[in-house]
Amino acid sequence: MQPAFIHPHQLLPLAAAWFLTILTAAGCSPPSVLLTPVFDSPKLKEQTVQSGRFLDGSKIAIIEVEGLLMNARAAGGIVGARENRLSLFTQQLERAETDRKVKAVVLRINSPGGTVTCSDAMYELVQRFKKRTGKPVIASFQEVAASGAYYVACAADTVVAQPSSVCGSIGVIFSSFNLEGTMNLIGVKPETVKSGRLKDMASPFKPLEGEERKIVQEMIDSYHRRFITVVQDGRNLGDDTAIADKTDGRIFTGEQAKALGLVDELGLLEDAISIARDRAKVPGAKVVMYKRPYGYSGSIYATQDSPPPQMSAFSLPIPESAVLPNGFYYLWQP
């Protein structure tokens, strides 16, 4: 049995208990408080979200691709870090692979994308899952399935989007910032000791110019070519001329994407599940999802933490994609 810990959801009761202890010491008589410990578990809990019609136990597994895709635990405010999405995705696919009753997978996608490497890893995981199991994979777009999230969807056998879904944004962006002017205003001059002339390339304390900008642009172009190759492999959109306007970074509605061949069908999540049942020849299969009640462990990707953005002493509730670590992203960030 693993050691007990106080889950983030119990922080408020814990603070209340601490306050009540002070009241008791002051002579007050507060009501008693019972704190129940929970146990960290790497296991996933299967939840049935739609009942089946037959008794053979066949299943369709819904696996989420949601939020900012990073191989890191995203910051979670006062309740601590949230789940590493690549870790959870890996473990969910493994669960669907080893369960013989799971006959197909639906990727429920609602994400603007994320880092280049995490998007590529998730895409490769789906490809390997399909190769090893032969189980159909259907992608279902919700509000947003852009950039890296669309990259992941290209590994699916069939892509279903709602007419109003935001998708596309096939391109690469390099996230950085320049603080040189601000540092000069406050009279601070950074000092850097380095082993090579390009070691501090893309430093926020100087402009990204000349040779450094050229090197970054070459990397972006390389990542973009890989993205286009993934789209071509999954969508077969024709020659370079035919695909150019579809891969210049612009976004599309689901209806536009259908007309351009970027998605296969228009429909809701229910329709994607129906396609999965048809492809797997299990019309009466129930639908399940995998959840982890507590904890973040469970796969080889579980322990990496997100590099914390350098902020002031004030803590502000900001979206997780508002301040990103420097890096290359397949990300739609309006």
Positions marked catalytic: 147, 199
> Residue 321 has which token pair?
């994609």
Q: What is the largest CA-CA distance in the chain?
A: 81
Distance in angstroms (rounded) separating the CA atoms of residues 330 and 228: 12
| End-to-end C-alpha distance for the chain, whole angstroms | 46
Cα-atom radius of gyration of the chain, to the nearest Å?
24
- Burial (CB count within 10 angstroms: exposed 0-12, middle 13-18, buried 19+), residue 146: buried
Asked if 173 and 216 count as a contact pair (C-beta separation under 8 A), the reply is no
> Residue 76 has which token pair?
């979670």
DSSP state of 264: S
Distance in angstroms (rounded) separating the CA atoms of residues 293 and 1: 16
User: Is 304 in a helix, a strand, or coil?
Assistant: coil
Please name which of 64, 54, 60 lies closest in space to residue 275, comparing C-alpha atoms: 60
Distance in angstroms (rounded) separating the CA atoms of residues 206 and 197: 13
Q: Give backbone dihedrals phi and psi of 279, rounded to 5 degrees, phi first.
A: -65, -35
Which residues make Cβ contacts (< 8 Å) with residue 294, sequence separation at least 6?
A: 7, 38, 39, 40, 41
